[in-house]
Amino acid sequence: MTDRYLVVGSPIRHSLSPVIHQAAFDELSIDATYSARQVEAGKLKPVIDDLRAGRLAGVNVTMPHKSLACELVDRIDGDAILASSVNTLLRTGTEVVGMSTDIPAIRAEWQRKSLPDSSVLILGSGGAAAAALVALTGMEVFVSARHPSNLENLRQRLGIAFEIVPWATPVPGVALVNATPLGMNGESLPPGLLAGAEGLFDMAYGALPTPAVIGAKTLGQPVVDGLDILVAQAGLSFEAWTGYSAPRKAMRKAVQIAQGW
């Protein structure tokens, strides 16, 4: 019987998860399908019920469901407890377990690309920024967002210490984390941020490498791009569901073809 996997969110049309995961299933000759489903805020429970009943084999959740899913699953695993955010749902026996593969993927890619591990400037205040804060605990952390009040809320929710700096203010000598959508449609990061940085971790991705990725590579900085992190977190989800080692080269090749890289 064919196993069915889903990614759910709103909006969901832009998701590359079906391309990535179907490539993995096909590469390993696993009888499974992976598709995207538009699910509005507050409508996640039927999906979880289908997973619990065995009608689905696994689910990825994206915005706006990452926090709400924590309230609907039977158990939250690992770093997702601190972040209060999950992106992967799996069934163990009769339980539905929520986990975050975003956080370990950030750590893994950070180490793989040898980014500096002393100080970091995170741009953003949403779920991606929260995942980065949890993943990079132990470093000296600066955070900048257009709406500083969001950062106060984030600090209280996570209980993680960080210094708030005004939006678009360069901090010399840091690794720069872009946890905003800037770059997905060709936008540049605010001027001056890259020049004094010692590496870039860009969570945005689009049809082409973002201007920030191009700029950082021109400066000779170590770079993690949006496709790196996308494939890394997808690979961890795949492994949690199937128990097989994810074919990451095939997954990245599929998404590069889909994006025209």
Question: Which active-site residues does the annotation give?
Answer: 66
CA distances, 122 to each of 66, 164, 172 (Å): 20, 10, 13
Q: Which positions ≥6 away from 176 have C-beta within 8 Å?
A: 120, 121, 123, 189, 193, 194, 197, 199, 200, 201, 212, 216
CA distances, 99 to each of 60, 136, 180, 257 (Å): 10, 18, 22, 29
- In angstroms, rounded to a whole number, what is the distance separating the alpha carbons of residues 128 and 258? 23
Say if CB 98 and CB 89 are below 8 A apart: yes
